[in-house]
Amino acid sequence: MAKIIDGREISRKTRESIKERTAGFIEKYGRAPGLAVVIAGDDPASQIYVRNKSKACEEVGFGSEVIRLPAEVSEAELLSVIEKLKIDEKTDGILVQLPLPRGLNPKVIIDAIPPEKDVDAFHVSNVGKIMLGEKCFLPCTPAGIMKMLEVEGISVDGKECVVVGRSNIVGKPMAMLLLQANGTVTVCHSHTANLKDITSRADILVAAVGKSKFITEDMVKEGAVVIDVGMNRDENGKLTGDVDFEAVEKKASAITPVPGGVGPMTITMLLENTLFAAELSVNNN
């Protein structure tokens, strides 16, 4: 039976460390790190995410601001909000909640956020630095996964790593971080032939496809570490991951559950990025 990788507990301990470092930052510089979250429209899932981010900021001692805009907001109006946050010295991190309402171009909006305040690590400059292995902000979900592997003492070095999914938010940066940790990485996607043959070789398998129970027992190598990034609803409305947990758990050596696995780590790594942005800000001024 696989060891369950407890994302909630790893997240809790990581936030304790961030809280301690934040207290030291406030004592030294006389202000708290600040995160501004901009949300346009009333998407229910986005509202929950934003509320959770605000609570997390409060928990570790950050200043936080939520700027709520109507779904009908124009691109010019949204860019004007970002322009003000760019020059606000209390704002170390700027996050625009995705998805945006129809008619707004996410690339234009993300590119307007200065790279040094881009705590989601979506700006082209930060994406390029990830490719080059330079120290910068890391996308929150892949960074959270790497933190989980580190805490669990799971070495990536020399391991065969397979990432299923090639999104810009998870799949591609996940592959880069595994590569930087000396893993041998394969990225699979909807056009991959013989998918089962490839996933069955993986020592570390990361599933990020957005399809409930897509990874089945016969796709997993005996003793593999299985990381489930998925967050789906099955036919009964129950929250499920991309992995058939009950079947795969018997075969894997370690596995993340859904919920309580990767999910809690994402906002925690956003806090890590915001504190890093604050440290950069005071060191550059």
Domains of the chain: 30-114 (3.40.50.10860), 140-263 (3.40.50.720)
State residue 285's pLDDT score.
66
In order of 37, 76, 148, the CA distances from 68 in angstroms are 8, 15, 33
**Is a pLDDT exceeding 70 seen at residue 17?**
yes
Confidence of residue 30 (pLDDT cuts 50, 70, 90): very high
Q: What is the pLDDT of residues 129-170, one digit of tens each?
A: 999 999 889 999 999 999 999 999 999 999 999 999 999 999
Confidence of residue 239 (pLDDT cuts 50, 70, 90): confident
What does the angle CA 37 – CA 40 – CA 41 come to, to the nearest 5 degrees? Answer: 135
State residue 45's pLDDT score.
84
Q: What is the pLDDT of residues 124-136, one digit of tens each?
A: 999 999 999 998 8
For the entire predicted model, the pTM comes to 0.95
**Is a pLDDT exceeding 80 seen at residue 284?**
no
Nearest to 277 by CA among 146, 58, 169, 120: 120
State residue 43's pLDDT score.
86
pLDDT (average), residues 69-84: 97
Does residue 217 sit in helix, strand or coil? helix
In order of 171, 239, 254, 259, the CA distances from 232 in angstroms are 17, 6, 21, 10
pLDDT (average), residues 14-36: 98
Task: Give the whole-angstrom CA distance, residue 163 versus residue 224.
Answer: 13
The catalytic site residues sit at: 53, 97, 120
